[in-house]
Structure 1
Amino acid sequence: MTDSQLRILSLPGSAADGGRSWQPRLELMAQRPVTAERSLPVLYVHGATFPCATSIFFRLGGWSWADSLNAAGFSIWGLDFAGFGRSERYPEMGPDSPPAGTPLGRAPDAVRQLERAVRAIVAETGAARVQIVAHSWGTIVAGRFAGQCPDLVDRLVLFGPIARREALPGMPSLAPWRYLTVREQRDRFVEDVPPGEAEVLAAADFPAWADLYLAADPTSGARSPPSVKTPNGPVADIMSAWSGDLAYDPAAIPAPVLIVCGAWDSLCGAADIAWLRQALTGAPEVRTVTVPKATHLMHLESGRTALHAATTDFLRQG
C-alpha cells in the first residue's frame, strides 16, 4: 500500500429557488501520496451503476488503481455524480418507488457537475488542466466535457467507451431511477466471460465490494434483498447512443486520447473502437489497447494490471 493521504472535498449545493434550478452537493475523493506533484491531478469519472469508492479507489488484494497511479507520482481524484456514492441524491430519489418523470442524471446535467469538479481541482492544486480517466457511460460525459472545455483537459483515457451504434430502433420509456441489487451487479460483471473460460472477476474481494456498494445508499438495508437506488440517466444515454445519437461529438476533442477495452467487452467491441478512433479527428494522438481475457469491468478483474500499466504509460506523457 502506498503512503497516501485520502480526503474528501465537498462542493456545496443549493436548493431550487425561483428561476434557479437545484444544484447537488458533490463529493470529491482525493488520494495523494506525500511525494506526489500537486500539479499533476488525474480525475476519475465513473460509469453508470457504481461510484468511485467501489472502482478506482477499491483495493483488490490490498492494491487499488488509485494506488498504482499514486505510485507513478499522480494525485488521484474521483467524482461521485449526483445520485451516486457520497454525493447528494436527486429530490426525486426520496420516495420508495420512482415517480413519473424522465431519467435523472443525463449527460448534459452530468457535464455541469464534472465542470464544477474540474474547476475545484484546478483551484485546489494550481494545475492548469487535469487528466481524465473515464469508464463506460462516464466516457460520454468526459468526451462531451473535453469538447466543451478543451482548455481544462490535458489528456483523456476512455476505458470501455460507449460509441455510436445503429442497433436499437429507438428509446424505450425509463423511470427517473431504479433499484439495483448485488446479485444483479455480479451477474452483469460475469456475463461476458465466454463459456468454458475461467472466471476473471476478483471473487475473493467481491464480498467486501458488495458491502461497500450497499453502504453507499443509506436505505439499502430497508429492502429485501438490499438494493441501491440508481439514476437511470446513464442507461438512457447509452440507449440513445446505440440508437444513433451519441451525446457528444468525438471530433470536438482536441486532447490526446487512449482507448482501453477488454477483449470480452460486449459494450465496447472492435467495431466500436474502430468507429471511435475514426471519429476522433481533432485529437493529435489516438492510442488503443485491447486487454486479453478481460470484460467491461476489467478494473475489478485479474487483467487490471494491464489496464493500470497502459493508463500510467499514457498519462506520464502529459
Structure 2
Amino acid sequence: MFNSLRQGFAAVISVSAMAGLRLLVLPALALAGCAAAPSAPDLPALAVDEFHVPSKTAGIELFVRNKRVKGAETFPSHRIVLFVHGVTFPSESTFDLSLDGQSWMDYIARAGYDVYLVDVRGYGGSTRPPAMSEPPDRNPPVATLAEAVDDVDSAVDFILRRRNVERIHLIGWSWGTVIMGRYAATHGEKVDRLVLYAPVWQRTTESQAARETDRKTAYRLVNVAAARSRWLAGVAPEKHEQLLPRSWFETWVAANLATDPWGSQRSPAVMRAPNGGLPVPHASGVWVPPYDPAAIQAPTLLVKGEWDADAPSSMAQALFPLLVNAPVKQHVEIGEGTHSIMLERNRMQLFRVVQGFLDGPRN
C-alpha cells in the first residue's frame, strides 16, 4: 500500500477519515526548493520565555521554553503546540536548533502559533534525579514512561493555565511518540491534534539507542560526536554531506553537550541520557503495547523519513490502522530523510507537512 518514490522529496500519504480511505501521492520537489528558508530580514521577530515548571514529583522541575511572534499574547487552543523529545537527546537541541537561521520551533511560531518544548526529567534543562549523579549501576532506570507522561501532563497543565485554554496540539518524536501517544490515549480531553514524528511501535529490530547498553542501569553516557555514523545508517555515502552537512552536525553536537556541563568536561565529552525509555523485553516474552491507539480521539498525523533505520515503515504501518477512533488520520513518508529529518537539509518538507496538518480544517 505504501509505495516509495526515490526522486527529490516524493512522499506517500495515506489519509483516512470516517468517510473512508484514500491514497494520495505528492509530486516530487526539487532539493533546493525544499531546503530553502526565508532570509533572516524577512522573518518576524520572536519573543522567548523560559520556565522551570514543578513536576508531580517533589524536587523535580521541568524546563519549558516558549516562542511566539513578539507582541502576541492571546492564542486559541488550535494555535498552541507542545514538543517532546526522544530517548537520548533533549528538546532544545532537537526542535530549537537554528540551522540556516531557523529552527522547527521558529518555523511554527512564525506561522502564528504559541510554541513550547519540554524536557522530561533527566534531560536538558530539567532536573536530573539524584541517581544521575551516582554511578549508573547503583540505581534502576531514570525517567520511565509513566514519569515522562506525568511530566508532559505538568507542562500541559502549565500551558493551559497560562493561556486559559482547554486543549493544545502535541508533537512527539521517536520515544516522544510513545509518550505523546499514551498521553493522548489517557488525557484526550486536553489534546487538540496529535503529531507522531518517527512513530515507535512494536519492534522487530533492536533500538539503536539500546545497543551495547545495560538497560537496567539508571542512565548511559553518550558520545555525541560519534553519533554521525548511526544517524546516517542506510544512507548512501555520496549523500551524507548533502543530507547532513558537517557544520550542521557539529552545531548539533555542541548544543547537546552544552545541556550537560558535567558530561561535557569528560574526555571524550559525553552527555548523560536516562535509560527509563529504552525498550525492555516483557518477562512473558510477549510484547505489551505502551498505550491503546483506539483510545486516541484526536486528529492524528504519523510522519517519518524514507531512510529511518530506527523507526522503520513497518511500525507506522502497524500503528496506523489501530487509530480507529481518530476522526482524521494521515500517514506521510518523506523521501530522502532519516530518523532526524528536522535537522537535515530536507527538513522543510517535514515542516510543511506538519504545518499543513496543524492548519487543517477544524471540522
Residue 187 of structure 1 aligns to which amino acid in structure 2?
S
| 2:204 paired with 1:148 | no
1:1-318 alignment runs, 5 A limit = 1-12=43-54, 22-34=58-70, 36=72, 37-39=74-76, 40-95=79-134, 97-167=135-205, 173-199=215-241, 200-236=243-279, 244-317=287-360, 318=362
CA distance in structure 2 between the aligned counterparts of 1:246 and 1:100, rounded to whole angstroms: 29
Aligned residues of 1:267 and 1:296 also touching (Cα < 8 A): yes
Residue 356 of structure 2 aligns to which amino acid in structure 1?
D
Q: What do the CA deviations read for 1:275-315 (whole angstroms, capped 9, x no partner)?
A: 11011112111101111010001011011101100111101
CA distance in structure 2 between the aligned counterparts of 1:261 and 1:223, rounded to whole angstroms: 34
Aligned residues of 2:137 and 2:217 also touching (Cα < 8 A): yes
Q: What do the CA deviations read for 1:147-190 (whole angstroms, capped 9, x no partner)?
A: 1111100000000010123557xx97431101011223323222
Aligned residues of 1:189 and 1:201 also touching (Cα < 8 A): no
Could you say if the C-alpha distance between residues 157 and 202 of structure 1 is closer, same or farther in structure 2, counting changes exceeding 3 Å?
farther
Aligned residues: CA RMSD = 2.1
Structure 1's consecutive aligned runs of 4 or more residues displaced over 4 angstroms after TM superposition are none
Residue 64 of structure 2 aligns to which amino acid in structure 1?
L
Between the two proteins, the alignment pairs up a number of residues equal to: 307
Residue 67 of structure 2 aligns to which amino acid in structure 1?
Q
What is the CA distance between 1:236 and its match in structure 2?
3.0
Q: Which runs of 5+ in 2 are unaligned?
A: 1-42, 207-212
Q: What do the CA deviations read for 1:72-116 (whole angstroms, capped 9, x no partner)?
A: 111110001111111000110012x21333211111111011100
Residue 311 of structure 1 aligns to which amino acid in structure 2?
V
Q: What do the CA deviations read for 1:182-237 (whole angstroms, capped 9, x no partner)?
A: 22332322223135434412432222221221110120233110111110112236
Report the TM-score when normalising by structure 2.
Answer: 0.79
What is the CA distance between 1:70 and its match in structure 2?
1.4
CA distance in structure 2 between the aligned counterparts of 1:22 and 1:185, rounded to whole angstroms: 34
Say which one has the larger Rg: 2
Match of 2:209 in 1: none
Match of 1:18 in 2: none
Aligned residues of 1:110 and 1:141 also touching (Cα < 8 A): yes
Aligned residues of 2:220 and 2:274 also touching (Cα < 8 A): yes
Could you say if the C-alpha distance between residues 13 and 74 of structure 1 is closer, same or farther in structure 2, counting changes exceeding 3 Å?
closer
Percent identity, aligned pairs only? 31
Aligned residues of 2:172 and 2:196 also touching (Cα < 8 A): yes
2:107 is paired with a residue of what secondary structure? helix
CA distance in structure 2 between the aligned counterparts of 1:165 and 1:48, rounded to whole angstroms: 15
Q: What do the CA deviations read for 1:34-67 (whole angstroms, capped 9, x no partner)?
A: 2555222100011111112111111111111111
